[in-house]
Amino acid sequence: MSIKRLDPAPMDEERDSPRLVMPPTTRSEFVLDVKNFSVDYGTGDQMVRAVNDVSLTLRRSTVLGVAGESGSGKSTFVYAMTRLLRAPGLISGGTVNLHTTTKGEIGEEVLDLVTASEKELRKIRWSHVAIVLQSALSALDPVVRIAREFDEVLKTHRPEMSKKQRRERAEALLATVGLNEDRLDRFPHELSGGQRQRVMIALALALDPELVIMDEPTTALDVVTQREIINELQDLRSRFDFAMIFITHDLSLLVELADEIVVMYAGSIVERAPANELYEAPRHPYTLGLLNSFPPMHGARQELTGIPGSPPDLSNLPIGCKFHPRCSYAMARCVHDEPPLVSVGDTGRSVACWLHVEGAERPVPVELSRRVTSSNTSDTGGGAS
């Protein structure tokens, strides 16, 4: 049940356009619904397409992992989606429908973030969509005490709360991430890296958002702290009810955390699959490469092979499949035609690779039909048709 704008208002105006309000009765299972979303950097001759025609959906209370090397467009995608992408980035098409609900009400409201006004965006920001950045040190205002960060957010979005209530809420939030309340009176530089990231996570949960976006939240941390934060997140997910988009280049981490994983390369989705299946049987050669670049967090050791070549240069992409220069399975067709993202199998998986299209010049290689070291390959050729 979606409530749509009648016509898109001019982008840079500060008013709420009249909205068609219908009595909400049901809510969809999705919190986010992205269609044909594209992002460019610059225009004209210098234009570079950073995100190319991405469509995806995110179910309530689930975790979507977005993986890819630097330059894959994964961060650009989420920043643009929330309209936080800086110049010279601009959205060149698509819709991003955010389904928001209010406590105590049955239905939902749908807001297309791409056409939303500044005022509408301000309203949904943090109360419905919160973000955790890679470096908490740079994400926290260096001259402001931690308490102010919480206070400000609560004061803006929950004006009915008293000063005392806000303080208590902040203390409770810190407790949920295992931090003592005395941290509230510290400045960011007085905390350790792990503590700062915990503060950011607590801050993200301050308003019970439906969607939390995590942009490589553990990359800047050491392995032990990284582990602790991931466990913390797992725990918080069971206690709070939020959906999460988790961006990282570390696929093995996602396998553990995510329900579903999307792999991006050069701005496009190349593979999408439930986390377990992606881990067990990657379909795209690039996914396989990513899996082989990191040691799994649990389980048997494997040889790390990585991906040959360097990440794509967005201003100079090859014709055909953008991955073909680095792909060890490339065929003649890959050089000329770009493979579409098509569904394979029956679990909602999809992949953009000519190997998995009927009538491919060569059979699907063993490792792209079943990765985990079983010698038996004949039973899972499913991806090939």
Partner 1 sequence: MNALRLPRSPKVLLGAGILLFFIIMTVIGPLLAPDDPSATSFAPNLTPSAHHWLGTTSLGQDIFSQLLVGARATMVVALLAGLVATVLSMTIGITAGYFGGVSDDGLTLLSNVFLALPGLPLLIVIDSYLPVGSRSNAFVIGLIISLTGWAWGARVLRAQTMSLRNRDFVEAARIIGEKRYRIMFSEIAPNLLPILASSLLFTVLYSIGAYVTLAYIGLTSTSVWNWGTMLYWAQSNNAPLSGEWYWFVPPGICIALVGTGLALLNFGIDEFINPRLRAAGLTSRQRRALGLPRRVRLGLTPVLRTGATKKTVSAPSRAVSP
Partner 2 sequence: MRMIARRIGLYVLTAWVAITVNFMLPRLMPGNPIQNMIGKLQGQVTAQEMNAIRLSFGGDTNHGLITQYFTYITQMFHGNLGISITLGASVSSILRESVPWTVGLIGISTVLSFVIGTFCGAMLGWTRGSRFDSLIPTATFFQAVPYFFLGTVMLLVFGSHLHLFPVLGAYSANVTPGWNWAFVGDVIRYGELPVISIVLSSIAGWMLGMRNMMITMIGEDFVLMAVAKGLPRRKVIMHAARNAVLPSIANLSLAIGLVVSGALLVELVFNYPGVGDLLLQAVLNEDYPLIQGIFLVITLTVLAANLIADFIYLALDPRTRTEAAL
Helices 193-204 and 146-157: angle between axes, nearest 10 degrees: 10
- Is 225:193 a contact under the CB 8 Å cutoff? yes
Q: Which does 91 bind (CB under 5 to 8 A by kind): partner 1, partner 2, none?
A: partner 1
- Closer of 43 and 377 to partner 1 (Cβ): 43
Task: Tokens for 233, please give them.
Answer: 């997140």
Distance CA 80, CA 37 (A): 9
Q: How far is the CB of 241 from partner 1 (least distance, A)?
A: 26
By DSSP bridging, strand 268-274 and strand 260-265 are: antiparallel
Segment lying near partner 2 (by CB under 8 A), choices 2-10, 81-89, 335-343, 355-363: 81-89
Q: How far is the CB of 232 from partner 2 (least distance, A)?
A: 20
Site string for partner 1, 81-110 (x = CB under 8 A): --xxxxxxxxxxx-----------------
Q: How far is the CB of 155 from partner 2 (least distance, A)?
A: 9
Task: Tokens for 376, please give them.
Answer: 């038996």
| Footprint on residues 324-383 left by partner 1 (CB under 8 A) | 324-325, 327-328, 330, 334
Distance CA 213, CA 7 (A): 28
- Mapped onto helix, strand or coil, the DSSP state of residue 319 is coil
If you ran DSSP here, which 8-state letter would residue 183 be given?
Answer: G
The terminus-to-terminus CA distance of the chain in angstroms comes to: 35
**At residue 279, what is the residue type?**
Y
Binder of partner 1 out of 11, 22, 106, 172 (CB under 8 A): 11
Residue ranges that bind partner 1, judged by CB under 8 A: 11-12, 40-44, 46-47, 49, 52, 79-80, 83-93, 114-115, 118, 121, 125, 316-319, 324-325, 327-328, 330, 334
Residue ranges that bind partner 2, judged by CB under 8 A: 82, 84, 86, 121-127, 130-131, 133, 135, 138-145, 152-153, 156-157, 187, 189-190
